[in-house]
Chain A
């Protein structure tokens, strides 16, 4: 959304600078969250898929992505122009609303980064790294950027023309990543041993640390979308906290009843599900609405993650079950819980707004999910045909850390309880400098 041009407000700018850093931190947080959930042999590869996304998305965003998403509309609400390619025409003095345009562009960039990284969870443990390096920039330009324009761009068809609501990115972030994750795991097929071998998370404390960083960053994500240091930012901040909490409790409640154990992975998954669902709605629903949105996401997503076993698609780390399902819940519930005090106009069904807001939300969900799924599926098939999207069976069996990156994360004994003899392995690289020095001393003597 382009606000009326004004002078830079230092308070707003300070908050958006902070928020931008917070959102960028979410991607390393996601790397740890995902990294802890995969098996020992592929944790570095998982971390790399997130980290490399920071670099890839930044480059394409600055080259063309920002302009296509936030440049002046050129195709009836579908895409922006290329007038700001390479950040052309935007300098330190440019203003977007009450903040520097360069800052606004960077804030939006951090959203694009984590959205691309989110998809990696669906294809963990089996993706060819070189294909991922091509997929991320192509996907950002073909899927993320258009949807960002539809939702936030000037004249975008979803917010500006249809009048659907999405405060902090349920459609461009959560629903596109979830639907794209589903498309990509269908292109790649399941991991070797899916439904047969135990593929349990190798480091749950790492998962908790990652989820904690995600939650911390999410305050910048949601409250930064206000977009200023305002009461609306405060409301979005509190809603974000509330929904994360009820999401956590909802998931634990289901686990306790269904499995008999309230698990650590369940608690952090529930909080993430609540945070996903409150992303579109944090600035449009009341606190009561936020509590319900989080709870609904925690309960529904905890069931949704088992779909992959029933339908036999291998969404390794539940991008579909958490992000697509959670994003849909949060986006649709706006149609029920939207409040004038938050939105400035739109009322949801429960506040006398009728069915129209719900209908608009539903249309936006269907179009965005359908678009993201279709384009990602096509792009995935194309890359698979051109270069192969999946790692070889040998690489997958041995682990991508060793075979792709020539590294391993841990120094393990055979049983994984320690490495008492590992240090008897002789270093293959000699220390030439020391050896030469020793020989010199010897010859002098």
Chain B
């Protein structure tokens, strides 16, 4: 080995190293690990020069808004930039700007939590137990502490606090999409959202058949029979793959569906135990055996196939959400189709019942990495104020809506016009902190079929948020059992729907119940009742 060779090697090594260093150093800001642990509560961030012109026209306590990072754990979130009139107004009122990142998938947040690389604010629902994970004093600030310290005049309804209280007695977020029974009762125009089932039918064909009555489930079955006979090429009923069960379960009084709990005599039971469930299965199986629904409907690969059938004129009745009639009509109009759709009643039986066990959907967390907890809690306080709620959910008063003395906003745009809504940032920033009633008022558009359906549903709705508080602990043996049961039911119930005879149906049904018991359904119920008793005492 000559010395020259050695030098050459060394030189090359150096070059490679330098290239590497350059590569990592290039591009904006690197290595800033985001943890500026400055003493919480100092108004303006970092090194802004406060010029001598203090107090000249500056709104609030600092002339420059603070920029906080927000991670939205919903990959589908339609808006990603803090722009538009609503965002500007919020910044003007709170002195907070947001720099938004929307999750790319559901693993991103757990990775961030595990590595401690957290933004200032996180907005998430409890899919994957993320709310439970973030409700941890090492990860997030308890809101009760921040309120006590920085915003003692921020008043939150005690029931709302209770349903959001974690095991350690603190609450770390307030979920949106929740209102107390009193709030619902006080706002008759507040309705549910599109997460409710509905069925639309072809208006022209109903007229051709002489407008047969449609007031009971028997009427519905007769109508499907007439369709089958008169229009043999059509599928009488097509169902969206995610909305096969809710409408008919509601009619039979199967509250909460299969994977949740229902209450009788002060005790809760897992949905599979519901004695009305068998009647529901028999009804659905009857529809299948008469040829009113397709076998492949239970295996649709995506949620567009039912729309293709319906708008393509191959199906008579379309089961989906409450907006299905309005939505199909818009689609038909766009294509210049000669027919229209109308909703059927939401209630076709005296047993029909909806039990709302919702405790909210998504909430905002203030993480321990937050560079300005004071501004953050005041930001949430503004969103929670009557002014903030209306601004974020309806838009700018006068420009986007005016208040109707009856008690709801007259919107100057269609809430269904998602282009307009997204461009202005209406609703989406509001979801960071809002309530079900305000969201419901936004959905109240007199004269639409959707509104009519939601009114009918509200009339048969009972509120039991305590049931929604029954949460199984992540990775506990009860949760593992429940997951196994739900997985088994997913496969077994299709056998029941598609049974070829009554005997086969009964056997499949009994198999399902017995297997669930073997897996440990009774133990899960026992645990649920313990939690239920505990939460009930809290709410009282």
Chains A and B are bound partners: no
